[in-house]
Homo-oligomer: A and B are copies of this chain.
């Protein structure tokens, strides 16, 4: 997994720092578990214990994790970095205002998402989110990640990939089905992504979770490529499909256009 990233790059670029990659990989294990021992982290990261112990020792010295006995946990050190992104990235900076506005106008939860570029293109990370009532079983926050192939935001982002990247991603198919409606084959997904690309928006209906209906549109950067996606999530029994395409879609498109403009700065 880690080696793949390195090797894919025209075969082991000498500029690639394995130690740095490993250390960050170890940090990442805390996304799945709040407290970890050395061997647990080693198992999860798929690295030798000694290497993981070195990483955790270093991360502790630097103040990124804290040790209580032999168990490690995260320190707040990530928060300033997350804030740096939140205020430095034009889309993230203006995004909260925009999703709040959409939520207020339409009365449904609205989210701005981007690729979590750490995991190829398989995951999207929620950057900004405005909630109404909780409609999804898994709680979402800024920083939550969701699979890209089965969510409207994710599909919009996938539809903006170039052929090489898209093929690389689809090579991972088939994908697990969350519901009976989930598209899981590379063929079906590719067809859907093509349609999304031409029509300019994506709609998923109960593919990630039964009863969850969602529509998303792309947010483009100055070069015209898809930099983010903004979506509206509703309950199937509350909003009809044509409400999404007739009422929600124009609002989302306006919001996306507005965000697009701000990303030029």
A contacts, CB < 8 Å to B: 5-6, 9, 13, 15-17, 19-24, 27-28, 30-31, 34-35, 53-55, 57-59, 61-64, 66, 73-89, 92, 114, 116-119, 125-127, 141-145
Contacts and interface: CB of A to CB of B under 8 A. Distances in A.
Given A5-B62, A17-B19, A80 B31 contact: yes
Given A62-B5, A76-B114, A83 B141 contact: yes
A89 B19 CA distance: 27
Given A17-B19, A24-B64, A86 B141 contact: yes
14 contacts: A15-B54, A19-B19, A20-B58, A21-B62, A27-B81, A30-B84, A31-B80, A75-B85, A78-B78, A79-B143, A80-B116, A80-B125, A80-B145, A81-B143
Contacts of A61: 5-6, 9, 16, 21
Given A74-B88, A89-B73, A83 B142 contact: yes
Contact of A15 (B15, B57, B86, B143): B57
